Amino acid sequence: MRKARKGFPNDFLWGGAVAACQVEGAYDMDGRGLSTSDVHMFSKNLDRANVPKEGGGTLEEIQIYLNDTKNYYPKRYGIDFYHTYKEDLALLAEMGFGTFRTSISWSRIFPKGNELEPNEAGLKFYDNLIDEIIKNGMEPIITISHYDMPLYLVMEYGGFANRKLIEFFVRYAVTLLKRYKDKVKYWIVFNQINLLQYCSWGSIGLLDDYAEDLEEVKFQAVHHQFVANALVYEQGKKINPDMQIGTMVADCTFYPFSCKPEDIVLTMKRNRMQYFYTDVQLRGEYPDYALRFFEDNGWNIKMEPSDEEVIRNNTQDFLAISYYASYVVDSEKCGMNPKDVVLNPYLKPTPWEWRMDPLGLYNCLSQYWDRYQVPIMIGENGFGAIDRVEEDGSIHDDYRIDYYRQHISQMKECIKDGVNIFAYCAWGPIDLVSSSTAEMSKRYGFIYVDQDDEGKGTKVRSKKDSFYWYKKVIESNGEDLE
């Protein structure tokens, strides 16, 4: 009889993850075109507890942002990783990173997005970056699209609501797959493909005034992403059959507010529509509950005759999951929109009203494994906080260490249960611009970057207490969490 696993496998990949649009900067260098991330303005009047969406706006608003010379757009500048990646990767290597997940800026490769030939200067940067990742002993994990779409494709085509973007995206993705076929084993095609209600600007490129019924358009756009993802998978396996190509979701499964039947059933229906994305990409077909959901709402998702066959024949190799916090559904206050949630009264809030829940990670990983039985990567997990620099330059972030300790402990419990988790990517191992609020004050890193919300500072990197703690975790393969 097989024996239960005791801990992390010997070849487990410990590391971290960033996104090009949050770290690189250099938005106007070496032929890069403007992207959706470049028009996300930092607001001095930010309400951290109530962030309705991540960037975007109406067509008129986006045009105003493009001509704005007074306000600050942090994602244009990031933390200047474009010029500091060698030093930054050396710090991560010092922690013992075995993997580093990053994304490629689409508009750096195809500035408008619809060109026939790529921008060689943009590719050269990623040649050097990927070589440096490997040189530092890390397995590169590359995300092809991480909230960083060429702005031209939004303004001229309407983003992924337009089926033409399948062609443009596949051309871009295949360019990368061919270029790095012998250097990159793990590929994530779309970052958090399920966050339509939160990140429709960066993910699918949807203007706020694109249509009267934006919800129908969102599901039409994600259908185009499903098809594009399947085609990329098909081409990738032809280029190098050993490539591992996966899908990624943010965990948006919920708890019922009570044991009242109405709460339980609504939560079940809500969770099922979160599994919809992975059901399509890992099981290979649209589930009946989703077809009914579209019909009940009067939505007509247009498909070409070959779409279902392409999706069915190209299910993904692995599932990447991002996990930060958990939320609750109350049938008296919530409907089917994923943004309708209540906060869990049993969990403590952060300034951003995220409720930290380590057991929620155990729950979500177990549920996904039981449902699909495919290898799982923790694509993101982290703790955003306001860090204080002491007079001697030290940063004592025990709260971050405690967060990671509890979450890694629950991940280990999942492995003991038989869940096949092969990688853990701590989110933002070096401080970066927040995806949701475009601020630097929401810090995730083991490494501090001396830069404020308006881009001011020396940009000098400093090691936090968590730097040394995570180094010890990696050295012990997850055994020493004290």
For residue 407, what is the enclosing H or E element? Answer: helix 398-416
| Tokens of residue 408, six digits | 């890694």
Is 1 a domain residue? Answer: no
Q: What is the mean pLDDT of the chain?
A: 96
Q: CB under 8 Å to 298, separation ≥6 — which residues?
A: none
| Tokens of residue 206, six digits | 């949807």
Mean pLDDT of 445-467: 97
Mean pLDDT of 423-448: 96
| Tokens of residue 428, six digits | 């933002």
Is 3 a domain residue? Answer: no
Helix (H, G, I), strand (E, B) or coil at 320: strand
pLDDT tens track for 241-294: 999 999 999 999 999 999 999 999 999 999 999 999 999 999 999 999 999 999
51: pLDDT strictly greater than 80: no
Geometric angle at alpha carbon 377, from 400 and 138, rounded to 5°:
80
Q: For the chain, give the number of residues.
A: 482
Strand pairing of 99-103 and 139-145?
parallel
Residue 249 pLDDT? 98
Residue 112 pLDDT? 98
Dist CA 22 CA 144 (whole Å)? 15
Residue 419 pLDDT? 97
Q: Token pair 């492995």 is at which residue?
A: 415
Residue 3 pLDDT? 79
pLDDT tens track for 132-161: 999 999 999 999 999 999 999 999 999 999
What Rg, from alpha-carbon coordinates, does the chain have? 21
Is 376 a domain residue? Answer: yes
Residue 92 pLDDT? 98
50: pLDDT strictly greater than 90: no
Distance from the Cα of residue 157 to its chain's centroid: 24
Is 153 a domain residue? Answer: yes
Dist CA 446 CA 423 (whole Å)? 18
pLDDT tens track for 302-358: 999 999 999 999 999 999 999 999 999 999 999 999 888 999 999 988 778 888 999
In terms of Cβ atoms closer than 10 Å to its own Cβ (0-12, 13-18, 19+), residue 46 is middle
Dist CA 385 CA 251 (whole Å)? 20
Distance from the Cα of residue 242 to its chain's centroid: 24
| Cβ atoms 34, 107 nearer than 8 A | yes
Least confident of 12-16, 193-197, 224-228, 407-411: 193-197
Tally of domains within the chain: 1
Mean pLDDT of 423-446: 96
Residue 246 pLDDT? 98
Mean pLDDT of 114-131: 98
In terms of Cβ atoms closer than 10 Å to its own Cβ (0-12, 13-18, 19+), residue 120 is exposed
| Tokens of residue 194, six digits | 């399920």
Is 87 a domain residue? Answer: yes
426: pLDDT strictly greater than 90: yes
What is the domain extent for residue 463?
13-475
Residue 350 pLDDT? 79
Q: Token pair 């620099």 is at which residue?
A: 389
Residue 214 pLDDT? 94
| Cβ atoms 449, 429 nearer than 8 A | no
Q: Token pair 């031209």 is at which residue?
A: 152
More confident residue, 197 or 9: 9
4: pLDDT strictly greater than 90: no
| Cβ atoms 198, 53 nearer than 8 A | yes
284 half-sphere exposure, CB direction, 13 A CA radius: 9
pLDDT bucket at 456, cuts 50 / 70 / 90: very high
| Tokens of residue 480, six digits | 């020493």
pLDDT tens track for 200-221: 999 999 999 999 899 999 999 9
| Cβ atoms 255, 267 nearer than 8 A | yes
Is 8 a domain residue? Answer: no
Residue 95 pLDDT? 98
Geometric angle at alpha carbon 173, from 17 and 210, rounded to 5°:
90
Q: Token pair 């919530």 is at which residue?
A: 334
Is 366 a domain residue? Answer: yes
Instruction: Tell me the residue type at 422.
Output: F
Kindly state the percentage of the chain with pLDDT values over 90.
Answer: 92
Is 5 a domain residue? Answer: no
| Cβ atoms 221, 294 nearer than 8 A | no
Provide the CATH number for the domain around residue 56.
Answer: 3.20.20.80
Kindly state the percentage of the chain with pLDDT values over 70.
Answer: 100
Mean pLDDT of 468-476: 98
Residue 45 pLDDT? 85
Dist CA 43 CA 46 (whole Å)? 5
Mean pLDDT of 182-188: 98
